[in-house]
Amino acid sequence: MKVLMAASECAPLIKTGGLADVVGALPAALSGHGIDCRILLPAYPSLQPLLSDRRQVAQFHDLPGGFGQIVLVTFQGMDLLLLDAPQLFDRPGLPYTDPNGVDWTDNHLRFGALAQAAARVGLDGVDGWQPDIVHAHDWQTALTPVYLKQLGQAAPKSVLTIHNIAFQGRFGPHVMSELGLRGDWFHPEALEYHGDLGFLKGGLMFADRITTVSPTYAHEILTPQYGMGLEGVLQARTGILSGILNGIDTGAWNPADDPALARDYNARSLGRKAESCAKIAERVGLDPDAKGPLFCVISRLTEQKGLDALAAAVPHIVERGGQLALLGSGDPALEQAFVDASHHFSGSVGAVIGYDEAFAHLLQGGSDAILIPSRFEPCGLTQLYGLRYGTLPVVARTGGLADTVVDANVAALRAECATGFVFDDVSKVGIEAALDRVFDCFDDNKKWQMMQRAAMRQSVGWEQSALEYAELYQSLMA
Ligand code: ADP
Ligand code: GLC
């Protein structure tokens, strides 16, 4: 079976968050099930070096935003189809925003072009390769199922995965014609979303299957609290909606073989985490002789992640003798809050504002616990990396966090299957209460190590989830 993945990010080539990790790892896992994947991505500047080996396999003169060609390249065993349209994608910095952090004003054309290119590759194939299924991810490629239905009679089947329903791609009604979309589809039963064009809304209406990245989030998004206005659309389509948990690339994230760590380790040599801990302390200016637990945060700094509540609980971490090392970027007020905390509690709190893949690995390797107090979390990957590295996740009970972390309650501890700490109340008080449980447990070294080993045993790879995607694709072909 052949599957075209269409996405706006793919690790390690271009990444702003977990979407990239998933798109970068899932195709390899699917190949174990006999599925031949190609990934369609925009040819951003960071991908330009790949173009030296270019082989043009298609050209389109009339995409939204003009001309674009598709070139086939291979990268680390992945077959990539790059949409080379410099007028849309040859821009510095992150994929969605200008250097001032403001959304590019032509994002509808940029990602409309990507979605339309995906549909046209889906319909006509390229280079003798004809996909059976086109799998789109998030709002950026959500128009793919729409274009498939608009442009072809015998279109391949489509799957749309929601990684985060908070981002919906909503644009004024005038862009319908710029995107070449059928005007008679501008109504609430198709593409219209409260008077605008909704990319994600349209995709949800036209896709043959909808998935999201955890079973709990698949339920949550049916409710007003989590559905962000799209709960009604999803309630009408529950028959084709399912949740498939993300996995992680256990090769790229392996404490026994990770060049970013001061020293490799496994479940029998957990003491070696101390060397990475020392390297973290040196990097962010923490007291190297501290005895309490070292907590880390690796995150986009946004409302979603509950880090405003965590910022309020930082004094409590310090009072109880813990340390905090944060790596993140995003909301300037949150960046400032953690920089201020690192000055105020110097030696106990350190903050690196920015994006640093190697430091993210080092933090997982050297910390005792990772804090993820998200208000909502479709899946979350950093808790999975934490489990793999024996860095116990402290998480809010939502979405994929609830599905992947086994709380250290009495029964789970007795059964030796507890892998972290799960709490309900994302507030200063709620986080402090969770932290108190962590501190108490950390004092009992035997219990803590038992949890670390249970965490490292938990299966967090793609095996099971790739099988579920393969079965989903099969069901569409039947
Ligand atoms: P989201 O996609 O909502 O941001 P996930 O937990 O699914 O959340 O994925 C986040 C990914 O981005 C992880 O791979 C994490 O390690 C990485 N990440 C987040 N912030 C940073 C940062 N500042 N530096 C390096 N990696 C980061
Ligand atoms: C989104 C979600 C995150 C998820 C990631 C990959 O960015 O916020 O929870 O892990 O997508 O699916």
Q: Which residue has the least CA distance to atom 1 on ligand 2?
A: 163
Q: Are 226 and 328 in the same domain?
A: no
pLDDT tier at 153, thresholds 50, 70, 90? confident
pLDDT tier at 388, thresholds 50, 70, 90? very high
Q: What is the DSSP string of 341-401?
A: HHHHTTBTEEEEES--HHHHHHHHHH-SEEEE--S--SS-SHHHHHHHTT-EEEEESSHHH
pLDDT tier at 344, thresholds 50, 70, 90? very high
- Ligand 1 near 327 CB (within 6 A): yes
Tokens of 445: 């070294």
pLDDT at 54: 78
> Residue 198: pLDDT above 90?
yes
Q: Is the dihedral of CA 414, 418, 424, 430 positive or negative?
A: positive
Q: Are 167 and 280 in the same domain?
A: no
Nearest ligand to the CA of 253 is 1
pLDDT at 432: 98
Nearest ligand to the CA of 326 is 1
pTM of the model: 0.97
Q: Are 206 and 274 in the same domain?
A: no
Torsion (CA) 329, 332, 335, 336 in degrees, nearest 10: 160
Which long-range contacts does 233-238 make (Cβ < 8 Å, 24+ apart)?
A: 233/201, 233/204, 233/205, 234/204, 234/210, 237/204, 237/205, 237/210
Task: Give 181 Cα–ligand 1 centroid separation in angstroms.
Answer: 34
Q: Are 448 and 468 in the same domain?
A: no
Task: Give 104 Cα–ligand 2 centroid separation in angstroms.
Answer: 22
Q: Are 172 and 306 in the same domain?
A: no
Query: Which of 21, 280, 283 should be mutated for ligand 1, with most atoms under 8 A from CB?
Result: 21
Residue 79 to residue 210: CA distance in whole angstroms: 24
Torsion (CA) 222, 396, 20, 88 in degrees, nearest 10: 60
pLDDT at 37: 98
Q: Are 213 and 347 in the same domain?
A: no
Residue 230 per-residue DSSP state = -
Mean pLDDT, rounded, for 116-144: 98
Nearest ligand to the CA of 226 is 2
The vertex-367 CA angle with 244 and 10, nearest 5°, equals 40
- Ligand 1 near 302 CB (within 6 A): no
Q: Tokens 């302390």 label which residue?
A: 281
> Residue 248: pLDDT above 80?
yes
Pocket of ligand 2 (CB under 6 A): 17-19, 22, 163-164, 213, 246, 377-381, 400
- Ligand 1 near 303 CB (within 6 A): no
Query: Which of 379, 401, 405 should be mutated for ligand 2, with most atoms under 8 A from CB?
Result: 379
Q: Which residue has the least CA distance to atom 19 on ligand 1?
A: 299
Q: Are 225 and 346 in the same domain?
A: no
Q: Which atom of ligand 2 is nearest to the CA of 17?
A: 7
- Ligand 1 near 11 CB (within 6 A): no
Mean predicted lDDT score pLDDT of the chain? 97
State how many domains the chain has: 2
pLDDT at 208: 98
Structural domain span for residue 346? 255-457
For the stretch 214-246, pLDDT in tens is 999 999 999 999 999 999 999 999 999 999 999
Q: Are 243 and 212 in the same domain?
A: yes
Tokens of 210: 């909808």
Q: Are 219 and 274 in the same domain?
A: no
Q: Tokens 């609290």 label which residue?
A: 225
Q: Which atom of ligand 1 is nearest to the CA of 11?
A: 14
Task: Give 385 Cα–ligand 1 centroid separation in angstroms.
Answer: 10
Task: Give 436 Cα–ligand 1 centroid separation in angstroms.
Answer: 26
> Residue 53: pLDDT above 80?
no
Residue 204 to residue 211: CA distance in whole angstroms: 10
Closest CA to 195 of 211, 176, 222: 176
pLDDT at 8: 98
Task: Give 194 Cα–ligand 1 centroid separation in angstroms.
Answer: 32
Q: Which atom of ligand 2 is nearest to the CA of 246?
A: 12
For the stretch 265-315, pLDDT in tens is 999 999 999 999 999 999 999 999 999 999 999 999 999 999 999 999 999
Q: Are 286 and 413 in the same domain?
A: yes
Tokens of 104: 């590019």
For the stretch 103-114, pLDDT in tens is 999 999 999 999
Q: Which residue has the least CA distance to atom 11 on ligand 2?
A: 163
- Ligand 1 near 394 CB (within 6 A): no
Q: Are 195 and 235 in the same domain?
A: yes
For the stretch 15-44, pLDDT in tens is 999 999 999 999 999 999 999 999 999 999
Mean pLDDT, rounded, for 191-213: 98
Task: Give 319 Cα–ligand 2 centroid separation in angstroms.
Answer: 33
By the 8 A CB rule, do 427 and 309 touch? Answer: yes
Q: Which secondary-structure segment (H or E) carries 159?
A: strand 157-162
Q: Are 204 and 350 in the same domain?
A: no
Which residues lie across from 162 on neighbouring strands?
Answer: 212
pLDDT tier at 155, thresholds 50, 70, 90? confident
Residue 112 to residue 120: CA distance in whole angstroms: 12
Mean pLDDT, rounded, for 83-91: 97
CATH number of the domain bearing residue 404: 3.40.50.2000
